[in-house]
Amino acid sequence: MMIRPRRLRRTPAIRRMVKETSISVDDLIYPVFVKHGKGEREPIPSMVGHHRLSVDELVKEVAEVWSLGIPAVILFGLPKKKDELGSEAYAGDGIVQQALGAIKERVPKLTIITDVCLCEYTDHGHCGIIEDGRVDNDATLEILSRIALSHAKAGADFVAPSDMMDGRVKAIRDTLERDGFKDTGILAYAVKYASSFYGPFREAADCAPQFGDRAGYQMDPANAREALKEALIDVEEGADIIMIKPALPYLDIIHQVRANINLPIAAYNVSGEYAMVKAADQRGWIAGEKVMMEMLISIKRAGADLILTYFAKEVAAVLIEHESIYAEKG
């Protein structure tokens, strides 16, 4: 007797029946960028289809996101003015705080996650407070806690510290609990590598460091065991969701964290991964939509429950189209 695995690949319907991994619109989180102004939709050259949006335009964008069934966005802010402390990041009338109020009024059921970091807001572009030419970890914790609290007060459902300072999840959790925001979640950038895949994001958020690099606080791409250590620390300190960033070069890390941690696992399909697909698709080198879906399936297969991706709206549209096709054939 010959063993014939191909029997289970014979027709599209059979392949659907035995599919091991699927993408759902419920898995998606859409990153958005908000800036000061009115009627602003400023294209981001390295991220085709994405814009820096004023609050009024952002509200329209997230309403569309919600209409596609995507349950959440993550919000990044571009300040009017930068300074050494990143003071607009925690100002009551900061750009993210304004956006939170507007979104909650227009799309109240949408889950809003806010990035908690200083790199977009500081004139030096680093993720923390600079002392003697380096990032001072402990001095930064107080500022990060102030940012998180200001976001919670403005309506954030989750705050997402992306700075990679030691102890920041505990500092933020303690602050939120003390000030009465016990229901505000923390999505921790627990395993964030010092990656070369962030280039388009740094253009979008205008947050490239003005001196040195971030290798002193973000993780070394060569390290895997350290990733689990970082993730377990954030779990112990009170994180509700653990994230790995980037996704594609670190599928092994996603798998390792999934095998050892019972919290929901998120993975960030970052700007460089998005830009590469878009550039190759524009040149006719790949079938962009198929590559997009294959990439996201690989992230889910590795163990991610949630995927932050600039493809989210496109993926949702593909899923809706497929569902309608099956409904018509049914």
Residues recognised as catalytic: 192, 245
Tell me how far apart the alpha carbons of residues 189 and 115 are, in angstroms, rounded to a whole number: 10
pLDDT at residue 50 in the model = 97
User: What is the residue whose two structure tokens read 């997402």?
Assistant: 160
H or E element: which one contains 73? Answer: strand 72-77
pLDDT digits (tens, 9 = 90+) for 142-166: 999 999 999 999 999 999 999 999 9
Tell me how far apart the alpha carbons of residues 158 and 266 are, in angstroms, rounded to a whole number: 13
Question: Is beta strand 134-136 parallel, antiparallel or unpaired with respect to 72-77?
Answer: unpaired
pLDDT at residue 259 in the model = 97
pLDDT at residue 152 in the model = 98
Instruction: Output the six-digit token pair for 177.
Output: 């609990």
pLDDT at residue 326 in the model = 52
**Strand ranges for 205-287 from DSSP E:** 241-245, 265-269
Nearest to 274 by CA among 311, 302, 299, 319: 311
pLDDT at residue 236 in the model = 97
The sign of the torsion formed by the CA atoms of 204, 161, 74, 232 equals positive
Question: Is beta strand 185-192 parallel, antiparallel or unpaired with respect to 72-77?
Answer: unpaired
On whether the CB atoms of residues 34 and 99 are closer than 8 A, the answer is yes
On whether the CB atoms of residues 30 and 268 are closer than 8 A, the answer is no
pLDDT at residue 133 in the model = 81
On whether the CB atoms of residues 72 and 29 are closer than 8 A, the answer is yes
The sign of the torsion formed by the CA atoms of 243, 275, 24, 183 equals positive
Provide the residue ranges of all domains of the chain, joining segments of one domain with +: 22-329
Answer left, alpha or beta for residue 6, where phi above 0 means left and psi between -120 and 50 means alpha: alpha
Nearest to 114 by CA among 198, 33, 234, 173: 33
On whether the CB atoms of residues 289 and 318 are closer than 8 A, the answer is yes
Cis check for the bond before 43: say yes or no (omega within 30 of 0). Answer: no
Q: Look at residue 196 and give its three-state secondary structure.
A: coil
Tell me how far apart the alpha carbons of residues 231 and 193 are, in angstroms, rounded to a whole number: 13
> How large a percentage of the chain has pLDDT more than 70?
98
> pTM to 2 decimals?
0.95
Paired residues of 193 in beta bridges = 219
pLDDT digits (tens, 9 = 90+) for 241-257: 999 999 999 999 999 99
Q: How far apart are the first and last CA of the chain?
A: 36
Mean pLDDT of the chain: 94
Nearest to 62 by CA among 27, 105, 94, 26: 105
pLDDT digits (tens, 9 = 90+) for 173-206: 999 999 999 999 999 999 999 999 999 988 888 7
Please give the angle made by the CA atoms of 23, 28 and 111, to the nearest 5 degrees.
145
Torsion of CA 189, 279, 305, 171, to 10 degrees: 10
What is the mean predicted confidence (pLDDT) over 94-110? 97
**Does residue 214 surpass a pLDDT of 90?**
no
The CATH homologous superfamily for domain 22-329 is Aldolase class I (3.20.20.70)
Q: Look at residue 113 and give its three-state secondary structure.
A: strand
Instruction: Output the six-digit token pair for 290.
Output: 């198929």
Tell me how far apart the alpha carbons of residues 77 and 88 are, in angstroms, rounded to a whole number: 10
On whether the CB atoms of residues 17 and 36 are closer than 8 A, the answer is no
Buried b (16+ CB within 10 A) or exposed e, 132-161: eeebebeebbebbbbbbbbbbebbbbbbbb
